[in-house]
Each structure stands twice: as structure tokens, then as C-alpha cells.
Amino acid sequence: MKILVTGIAGFIGSHTAERLLDMGHEVTGADNFCDYYSLELKQMNAEAVKEKGSEIVTMDLRNEEDYNLLDQDFDYIFHFAAQPGISQTSSFEDYFTNNIIATKYLIDFALKCKNLKLFVNIGTSSIYGLEATYPEDIAPKPASYYGVTKLAAEQLVLQKSREKQMKSCSLRLYSVIGPRERPEKMYTKLIDLGLKGQAFPLFDGSDKHLRSFTYVGDIVDGIVSVIDNVDKVDGEIFNLGTEVEHTTQEGIDAVAEVLGKTIKIEVKPKRAGDQTRTKANIDKARRLLNYNPQTTLLESVRSQVEWFKANCL
């Protein structure tokens, strides 16, 4: 199969691309290599994927002309590219253009791909709102620009399934951790600051927040499972993550255990829009896709620490 992966230089996109290549598929990646976080890390991710045989096209999904750089013979599209997370440095325009406008233009491109079997939108548990513990048919209540714009992008994609213009699905991911996690994310910062003996900035009260911390390899298992299950997933939404909950404090303790160091904490004011609880309800994915994440929190942290020491020191 010929597969397009947008956001291929990112954390989860690069892991998924590698898995697809290992499965024998032909992968083309698209990424704009923006400086939202370390370009050096993105280039390292991209090189790892290229070494396995992927072509990568530097393009901006918000520019209609850039789509001329791509062929139109893809069998699958996996859409990871987005303005991620909750950040004080990101404006509403950043979320709007990267998550909604870019998705609209990518859909327009997808409709020109005559061989396309499935468009896979990569969504987020932030769509649910301050608590994400629900099955996929619950009414979403996003509480951030990120959640709102990712919900809009998801619905733009699924609209085409409803109109019978193309087959599509959306996968809502839960608190993904592991090697290549973005620098501003919790575990990367914990590992980095812990090794340096510096204080980790913890938002007030977030030590008690509950999360479905899910190893990236388990997430990729769910993502690639949609291949050859097109009829089952068309028009559907699936939660992907672990059903096991851990507090943020338990995550901090896991990093401290693996590093063999005490993690210093600096309490910061609460952050608006931050989820208080996520627990992946994966009954649907388990039933239809045989999805069964198994990696423990401690195993995930060990893998991430090993990668960080090998690549970031």
C-alpha cells in the first residue's frame, strides 16, 4: 500500500511511519518542520524514518499550492499534523489554521486520490473536555482552543464519510508517552530536569490529576489496526489508550525510580483548560479492532529514559 503520513517528523507520526514501513508499505511523509519545538529533534525523527525508506516532502498543509508536491495515488492517509496541546505561546489563529484549515485542504486533496481506501484522522482525548472517561458516542465538551479545533477537524473528516465521498475514521489518542515525546511534555521534562537536578514546574493541584499514560508502541498498534478493516471503521470514532489510570504524582515517582534520583518540584499556578482526568474507554476498539495495550507505566518510562540518554545528552 502507498501511504501518506502528515506530521511525519513528530512524535507519534514518526513512530507510526516506521511501523508502516516495517509492515512493508510504501510511506511518503509531509511535514512543515515548524519551530514550535526543537527543529533538531524533528530532523532526528525524520532521519530515522528516511533511513527505513520513507520519502519526506517539506510542505505546509495550509498552503493549497504545496499539495502539487504530492502524488495523488495514495491508498491511505494518516493525518497527524496539528497545532498540539495547550500552550500560552499558541494563538487561536495557530490552532484554527493548523487544525481546521489545514485539515480542510488535506480533505480536498484526498478527494482527488482515486485509489484512496481510508482517511485516518488522528484526534485527541481533549475533545471530550475536562474529563475524558467516556465512550465515543458521548457529546464532547472541549475546554480549550486545542480541543475545540481538533473536534472541528474530526467532524470535517467524518462529514465526508456521511456524504459517501470517501471512507474515513477518527482515532482519539490518550496521553501518549515514550521515546521522542515532545520537549515540553511531562515525561521528557521530568527526565531532562531530573538528570540535571533542576526543579520540575508542576501546575498547582495537577499532582492529583489522573491520566491514561499510554506507551507510544501500544498507540501505534491501534493506529495501524485500521488497515484492512476499512468497512468496520468507516465513519467511526475510536478511543486508543490504556484503561489503567495513574496520577501525575505516580508518573513523577516512576521517573524518579528509573533515574534513581529525587525529582525537585516547583509549584506553578493552575493552567486553564487542563484536563483533571483521562481514562480511555476502549471497549469499542477492543471489540472491533482487537486492541489490547499492555505496556506498564514503569516499562514506558524505562524505554523513554533509555532513548533520552542515548539521543538528548
Domain assignment present for 286? no
Residues 135 and 261 both lie in one domain: no
Q: Specify if 284 maps to a domain.
A: no
Q: Is residue 170 part of a domain?
A: yes
In this structure, are 118 and 136 located in the same domain? Answer: yes
45 and 145 part of one domain: yes
The per-residue pLDDT for 205 is: 87
Q: For residues 163 and 204, state if they share a domain.
A: no
Pairing of strands 246-247, 210-211: antiparallel
Residue-number span of the structural domain to which 305 is assigned: 177-212+244-279+294-311
CATH number at residue 102: 3.40.50.720
Q: Which residues contact 245 (CB under 8 A, 6 or more apart)?
A: 210, 211, 212, 277, 278, 279
pLDDT single digits (tens) 98-130? 999 999 999 999 999 999 999 999 999 999 999
Asked if 52 and 161 sit in the same domain, the reply is yes
Q: Note whether 125 and 174 are within 8 A (CB).
A: yes
Are 69 and 206 found together in one domain?
Answer: no
Alpha helix segments (H runs only) across 56-199 = 92-95, 102-110, 145-162, 186-196
Assess whether 129 and 199 both reside in one domain.
no
Query: Which pLDDT does position 143 carry in this prediction?
Result: 93
User: Has residue 89 got a pLDDT over 90?
Assistant: no
Residue 120 and residue 91 share a domain? yes
Considering the domain boundaries, does residue 218 fall inside one? yes
For residues 133 and 204, state if they share a domain.
no
Edge-to-edge strand order for the sheet containing 2-6? Answer: 55-58, 26-31, 2-6, 76-79, 118-124, 168-173, 236-240
Confidence of residue 33 (pLDDT cuts 50, 70, 90): very high
Task: Say yes or no: 44 and 60 in one domain.
Answer: yes
User: How many domains is the chain built from?
Assistant: 2
Quote the mean pLDDT of the chain: 96
What CATH number does the domain containing 197 carry?
Answer: 3.90.25.10
Is the whole model's pTM more than 0.85, yes or no?
yes
- 53/24 same-domain check: yes
Task: Check whether residue 134 and residue 265 sit in a common domain.
Answer: no
- Are 180 and 41 spatial neighbours (Cβ–Cβ below 8 Å)? yes
Asked whether the predicted pLDDT for residue 88 surpasses 80, the reply is no
* pLDDT tops 80 at residue 253: yes
Per-residue pLDDT at 272:
75
pLDDT of residue 107: 98
* pLDDT per residue as tens digits for the range 117-164: 999 999 999 999 999 999 999 999 999 999 999 999 999 999 999 999
